[in-house]
Chains A and B, each alone.
Chain A
Amino acid sequence: MAALESPQPAATTTAMRHAFGNVLSVLILVLIGVLAFSIRLFSVIKYESVIHEFDPYFNYRVTQFLSKNGIYEFWNWFDDRTWYPLGRVIGGTVYPGLTLTAGTIWWVLNSLNIPLSVETVCVFTAPVFSAFASWATYLLTKEVKGSGAGLAAAVLLAMVPSYISRSVAGSYDNEAVAIFALIFTFYLYIKTLNTGSLFYATLNALAYFYMVCSWGGYTFIINLIPMHVLLCIVTGRYSPRLYIAYAPLVVLGTLLAALVPVVGFNAVLTSEHFASFLVFIIIHVVALVYYIKGILTPKMFKVAVTLVVSIGMVVCFIVVAILVALVASSPTGGWSGRSLSLLDPTYASKYIPIIASVSEHQPPTWPSYFMDINVLAFLVPAGIIACFSPLSDSSSFVVLYIVMSVYFSGVMVRLMLVLAPAACIMSGIALSQAFDVFTGSIKYQLGGSSNSTDNAEDTNNAPKDDASAGKTDKGEEIVKERSSKKGKKKEREPADKPSVKSKAKKKALVLPLETSIVALLLLIMLGAFYVIHCVWAAAEAYSAPSIVLTSQSRDGLHVFDDFRESYAWLSHNTDVDDKVASWWDYGYQTTAMANRTVIVDNNTWNNTHIATVGTAMSSPEKAAWEIFNSLDVKYVLVVFGGLIGYPSDDINKFLWMVRIGGGVFPHIKEADYLTLNLNLVTY
């Protein structure tokens, strides 16, 4: 929306400029969408249009089932082709958001007689939703710091490697749609916070519902927003807008969340959600206090406070005691294993080897930060500073968001994904503010006429709180502007007329010309490095589907397609009801590609069953035969990478089989499988 030229006196030119700015913004946003979509197509161009890795195959299979049998069959689906002989209730144990989304897209396309296969739809769901996520980032950042920052943040998010790693074409996983849902929920929360509109509060609850449908990471939202509300209350920023932003979300959101079968009563029973209820009570108390304060005289109010506090303390104590008793009665204190390992990073490695054995649940290394968010890591601090000048409700939210996500990403490498949007928003704000300052300085130095230039600058980046201050002064003009717009579009335009105070502040920010130019060039270089890194990461690091491997040698490209070779063989040359045993990594792929019954799969819901397979794998042949025989296994799938030098084969995973097997069956001891005298091992 950048109003680039100096303002003209005539109202029509202002309107023209706004229209031009709007069109330009829309055009840029469309291009950002195209960028977000197309940078994720490297996997299709370099490899093929195929579902990637492990979990996406399960999601693909579920989507196939959904598109073939319909939604009701899907909810009631008991899958007997996995976890033999136990089976698995799919409808009640998956987050259905992704499959329902792709299934709906497929259904719409097919009812328009566009015969795309389910696979194609699944492959391209993630890139499409990346474009949506970029637009949502624009909206969120625009709410926080204006549309310049919004566009910068959107373009950064469109190609942030951390997000690309989970959303390349073919990476058909929950995160693909969940990140969009996450950002969009935050946007609607901020929007509600800024406008106090119940309409947006309802939309917010619906977006939260979509997020709950999509990903277990929704607990991040339901903890972050209460934290922010609490922060606002503690820092004396309570307002009716805050109440409207929060209370409907908790009530509607929890009700809706409980509709999702996999969440169900967990939405009110597990500790992950307690923070939101606690804050819900607090905000009501605070609202009541404010209300009473409004109707009572100050003296009466003091008396009332003493009374209420003393009674309130007693009630609170009782409630807390009940809660503690309830929580303590459950073995894990009401927390799920993965959540616990977030609070205590050493928890999983101590108690649950199956969570620890997944590489994406390990803490990240420092280089992975540089790999995944690259220069954003340096821009984030600047963005945080920019958010503090001045601090508003919305900017305090993004500061809280980045702080929390940095912590969580430090615990689990997978949660880098949550950090990425926050880092993009912060960096977008930082970049946009820096550009404003530098270009403003240059314009000031070159322009001469300082007054008008200053005005122009301010249109760009006047933050919201100034806007509300300015609005009282120039309310009429804004109303005039609005009358040409739709009544529904209540969103405040970035204030045209800044207060006198911010004008004075602007003048102090003028920098020398040379410094500004050099700094601008350096910023552009930084951006260029980021783009180069992102394109490289998208093309080289994150595009491999990992079911087909390629290696470049002197005599050309070698393709190792052994996984699919074995799955295709199983699919065509074994009986349809044969049972295939393999380590759990290959469970989803075997059911999806070979359509054979597996003993364990990547869902890992039954540790004992996995331990049984682990025991069989680490037992001598005779014992293993008996175990497999008892499970009706006819084929055993093992991956051996020794001949071609493929490192992540079953020998590489063997120690985990021993550990997980030993966790349930004590006769398997890890020490038995290790060479005691390491000095004797020669390589």
Chain B
Amino acid sequence: MAARIGIFAVVVAVFLSIPAFSSAQDLQIVNAERRIDLSSHIVKDFLTLKVENIGISPAAEMLLAFSPTQIKNLAMVQALAITGKKKKKTYLPLDVKPAEQPDAPNDTGYYRVTFVSPLGPGETVSLEVLYILTNSLEPFPVEITQSESQLVYYHDSAVILSPYHVKQQTTFVKTPSTRVESFTSIEPANRAGKEIKYGPYENRASYSYAPVIIHFENNSPFAVVEELVREIEISHWGSLQITEHYRLTHGGARHKGVFSRVDYQSKRSVSGASSFNALLAVLPPRVNSVYYRDDIGNISTSHLRTGFRKSELEFEPRYPLFGGWRATFIIGYRVPLEDYLFEASDGRRYLNFTFGCPLVETIVNKLTIKVVLPEGSKDPYAILPFTVNQDLQVKYSYLDIVGRTVVVLQKDNVVPTHNVPFQVYYTFKPIYMLAEPFMLVSAFFFVFVASLAYVHIDLNIARK
């Protein structure tokens, strides 16, 4: 909680100090190219911007604007600065933070991108921005039968929503198949194969908006994990036990009518096109003791391929998932401790593990990561590249007396790009490792002593 407030305070401070020398009119976008990838249910927008400072004072940062629906579904924004010419381009990651503007028209949301070095008057900079939207494809029709394929709407604007004047811009939309039912045409716009091109549009004023609807076929698996709880249990005896509880659902058009298993299995090409029955989880290398089960037992359809870089677990839920269907399952595995636990220079230990969800191409609506530290650990704190809710709990496991400290990290709307390393620091004395063996030994010792005493002491009242 403290960390969260701290970050919030920083944001506020930055926000209060900035507006003095950076107003919207000081920058303009010379050239913008946007590529929207609609091939899966995670919408990826690549934005290439060329920004020019037309003001008189240097600009340290710029704003990215998003419509209210987008800001709600925005999972991640990343920005890179491009320096160098064509051949030897170098990319520098830039700091991106959510920002608030008091005079935002129509609840527009903002992200603030801080440049590497303030942009002097007349200078230009090239940026690449990637932002990821979830839950942005709206199935229409809302309900489909087993034999139909899934059609979705995508709402966006043909021109880039920006607080700056945009001199020239083009938008490319990539659909997963050539089947596009309709799309709003704003001249010049045309469609070729899987690509729809909007633009080029010249000289659009700030906050220009041209709503478009694209209605197209998308049968990619709409795998949405409603809730994922990952428990990472550290044992200083040499392993890391990870248990992942999934609540999975199919986020696409709801299934209507009957489900025919015979059709599903015999006419796979035309039946249940939007359903999915296989998932792929990317697990760490050197993973062992992998299990895949649910509340009522083992689920027998899974394959594990271990490798040096990563392990892949290919598995099927108990039944194919059609729109709106749900399934819960548990994946558990163990990895060697030395790959993930390190000792910092100040003697503290830290766990270095991957955030996010191991399933590929999956949205997680609510992710909770619980790092269960060994009994006797102190002063835990977590370091992440983005803000999450943090909390501390206590868990009692095998023969615990004081309980284990659990660092709980919680984040909503997680996409595969969130799979980045995070660290949990804590202090731990190795002597605590011997507590439980000592308890067992002394318990057995006591039992033997007691039985010895029992055999040798005569408790009879009457002499025999």
Residues in chain A within 8 A of chain B (CB atoms): 47-48, 50, 112-115, 479, 482-483, 486-487, 547-548, 559, 561, 564-565, 567-569, 571-573, 593, 643
Contacts and interface: CB of A to CB of B under 8 A. Distances in A.
B394 to A, nearest CB: 12
A486 B460 CA distance: 8
B318 A561 contact: yes
Contacts of B319: 565, 568-569
B294 interface: yes
A479 B295 CA distance: 60
A483 B397 CA distance: 47
Contact of B399 (A112, A548, A561): A112
B458 interface: yes
B296, B328, B455 — most chain A CB neighbours (10 Å): B296
Given A561-B318, A568-B319, A548 B297 contact: yes
Contacts of B294: 568
A463 B464 CA distance: 26
B326 interface: yes
Contacts of B327: 568, 572
Contacts of A593: 296
Contacts of A571: 295-296
Given A48-B298, A548-B300, A572-B327, A483 B396 contact: no
Contacts of B455: 486
Given A113-B398, A115-B398, A486-B458, A564 B328 contact: no
Contacts of B464: 479, 482-483, 487
Nearest to A558: B300
A487 B458 contact: yes
A561 B325 contact: no
Contacts of B397: 113, 115
Contact of B296 (A114, A482, A567, A573): A567
A114 B460 contact: no
A569 B326 CA distance: 8
Nearest to A561: B300
B125 interface: no
Interface in B378-420: 396-401
B296 A564 contact: yes
A486 B456 CA distance: 8
Most buried by B among A115, A559, A573, A593: A573
Given A486-B458, A569-B318, A564 B297 contact: yes
B301 to A, nearest CB: 8
Interface in B290-315: 293-301
Contacts of A564: 296-297, 318
Interface in B403-460: 454-455, 458-460
Contacts of A483: 464
22 contacts: A47-B298, A48-B293, A48-B298, A50-B298, A112-B399, A113-B399, A113-B400, A113-B401, A482-B464, A486-B455, A487-B458, A487-B459, A559-B301, A564-B297, A568-B294, A568-B296, A568-B319, A568-B327, A569-B318, A569-B325, A572-B326, A572-B328
Nearest to A559: B300
Interface in B315-333: 318-319, 324-328
B44 to A, nearest CB: 30
Nearest to B396: A113
B255 to A, nearest CB: 9
Contacts of B328: 572
Contacts of B297: 48, 50, 547-548, 564
Interface of B: 262, 293-301, 318-319, 324-328, 396-401, 454-455, 458-460, 464
Contact of A114 (B326, B398, B454): B398
B383 to A, nearest CB: 30
Contact of B326 (A48, A482, A487, A573): A573
A568 B464 CA distance: 67
Chain A CB within 10 Å, residue with most, of B295, B328, B401:
B295
A639 to B, nearest CB: 13
Given A113-B401, A115-B396, A548-B300, 4 more contacts: A47-B298, A115-B398, A479-B464, A486-B455
Given A113-B396, A565-B319, A567-B296, A487 B325 contact: no
Contacts of A569: 318-319, 325
Nearest to B259: A569
B229 to A, nearest CB: 16
Nearest to A643: B262
A567 B396 CA distance: 32
A636 to B, nearest CB: 13
Given A564-B296, A568-B294, A114 B318 contact: no
Nearest to A47: B298
Nearest to A48: B298
A549 to B, nearest CB: 11
Contacts of A112: 399
Nearest to B255: A573
B458 A568 contact: no
B349 to A, nearest CB: 24
A112 B295 CA distance: 24
Contacts of A114: 398-399
Given A482-B464, A487-B464, A572 B399 contact: no
Given A113-B397, A548-B300, A561-B299, A573 B325 contact: yes
Contacts of B299: 561
B62 to A, nearest CB: 46
A126 to B, nearest CB: 17
A561 B300 CA distance: 8
Contacts of A47: 298
Contacts of A565: 318-319
A567 B319 CA distance: 10
Contacts of A643: 262
Contacts of A572: 325-328
A59 B294 CA distance: 20
Nearest to A563: B296
A486 B293 CA distance: 52
Nearest to B395: A115
A471 B455 CA distance: 25
Contacts of A115: 396-398
Contacts of B296: 50, 564, 567-568, 571, 593
A289 to B, nearest CB: 34
Nearest to B298: A48
A47 B454 CA distance: 44
Contacts of B262: 643
A629 to B, nearest CB: 18
A564 B327 CA distance: 12
Contact of A487 (B300, B400, B401, B460): B460
Contacts of A547: 297
Contacts of A561: 299-300, 318
Contacts of B298: 47-48, 50, 548
Most chain A CB atoms below 10 A, which of B318, B397, B454, B458: B318
Contacts of A113: 396-401
A412 B401 CA distance: 51
Contacts of B399: 112-114
A106 to B, nearest CB: 15
A561 B400 CA distance: 38
Among A115, A479, A547, max chain B CB count under 10 A is at: A115
